[in-house]
Every structure is written in structure tokens, then in C-alpha cells.
Amino acid sequence: MGEVTILLPAYNEEETIGRVIDEVREVMPYCQILVAYTPSSDETENIVVWKKVPMITVPSRGKGTAVDRGLKFIKTDYIIMLNSDFTYPAQYLAAIYQVLTKLGADVVLGYRAIKEKDSMSPLNSLGNWALSLLASVLYRKRVYDVCTGMWGFRTEALRKFQLTSQGFTLEADFFINSIRNKLKVEQIPIAYRKRLGTSRPKLKLQDGLKIGWFLVKRRFTWS
């Protein structure tokens, strides 16, 4: 599994980043790990250093920036992006890697089919369903979870993307670029865990509205 890099965007994740790294190493011991670190007010950086994981500094917040900078350093054939908040079980990384390599997929997303109790509020669940339905209708491709934080890519396919997002619209941008580039997209069911410690969901109602508007705007302004 040395052909795959697990990209972990991290900002203020001291409570979880160490556990995520340990879980990734247990599931995929021969993969490469790269942390895209945005300077934080906690001990995230020190924990990554202690875990002896390669790290690049991303000057501004946003997973879009993390992906853009990460691509400059990643040399493996495949990339799997995983949130650093421990809500996405690393046990599914191997399955995503298998779909990329054995089934020849360009893009694989893990849709949150099994949700741990209190992992997602009813409003967030409804919003995610509505956004996924909107994306499916606009782009004529059924997507079960357009906001998921677990994505796998063939690296050369990801390099073709024209990403314009930095924040919460990034995952929608992944989906749009996948469709526009006529890539082979596969979806696998995954579980979703409740956040640990004092960490709280970062996606708010206004963010959901921004994602919806982004999906609509990009549908009719793609050049």
C-alpha cells in the first residue's frame, strides 16, 4: 500500500489527530501519511511531530488550500483525504484503496450510511440529504453524501480538477469536478462517529446555504 498517501488536513485537532494517525497506521501500515497543518492555537503541531508524521504548513484555513499544497508534495499514485476529527473510521481506507486499484475508479467517496447516536443533528442530516439530492438532480449523477469528509482519488485525476473552494464547499467542488471531467466515480457505505471531547460540528445553517448556492452557480457558470 505504499502507492497511497493519506492526506490529513488539521486545524485545532489536538484532541483527535493522534488517534487518527494511530488508527490509519493500524489499518494501512505501509501507506504514507501527510498532515496539512494550519497554524493552530492548541497542541496539534506538537502531537504530529511526536508521532513522527511528515507535515506541511498551510498558511490559511480551508481544506481546499490543504489539498492544493498537498498535491505539490504527494508523489504516490493515489490519495485519500480524511478529516482529522476522528468522526470517520479509518477502517474504510483499505476498502476505498481497493476500489481505486482493483475496480479502476478515479474517485471514491464514502457516504455516511451508519451514523452513531448524536453524531449528527436532525437539521444537519436533513440538510445533507437535501444538498445531496440537489447535487444529484443538477449534475444527473446520484450522489448519496455530497458533504462527506472521506474521499479517495487517483492522483492524476485529482490534478485535473479546477478547484475554486477553500472552505465547506470543497466536497461539492470535488463532486462537480468529478462529473465535469467524466471520471469514474464509486461510492461505498461507511460509518460516522460522534465527535470526541469538546469538539463540535463546524457546519452551520449558513454553510449549508452556501453549499447549495455553490452547486447551483457552478452548474451554470462552468467554463
Give the model's pLDDT for residue 155: 95
Q: To 10 degrees, the CA torsion angle through 54, 106, 211, 65?
A: 30
Give tens-digit pLDDT for 55-81.
Answer: 998 877 677 888 888 888 999 999 999
> Which domains are present in the chain?
4-221 (3.90.550.10)
pTM, entire model: 0.92
Three-class secondary structure of residue 33 per DSSP: strand
Helix (H) or strand (E) holding 187: strand 185-192
Tens of pLDDT, residues 204-213: 778 888 999 9
Closest-CA residue to 7 (of 153, 111, 156, 197): 153
Integer Cα distance of 88 and 25 in angstroms: 15
Listed in sequence order, the DSSP H helices in the chain are 17-27, 44-50, 63-71, 93-102, 122-139, 155-158, 170-180, 205-221
* pLDDT tens per residue, range 16-48: 999 999 999 999 999 999 999 888 889 999 999
Q: Mean of the pLDDT values across residues 216-223?
A: 81
Instruction: Classify residue 39 by its DSSP letter.
Output: -
Cα 181 to Cα 2, 55, 217: the distances in Å are 27, 30, 18
Dump pLDDT digits (tens) for 152-163: 999 999 999 988
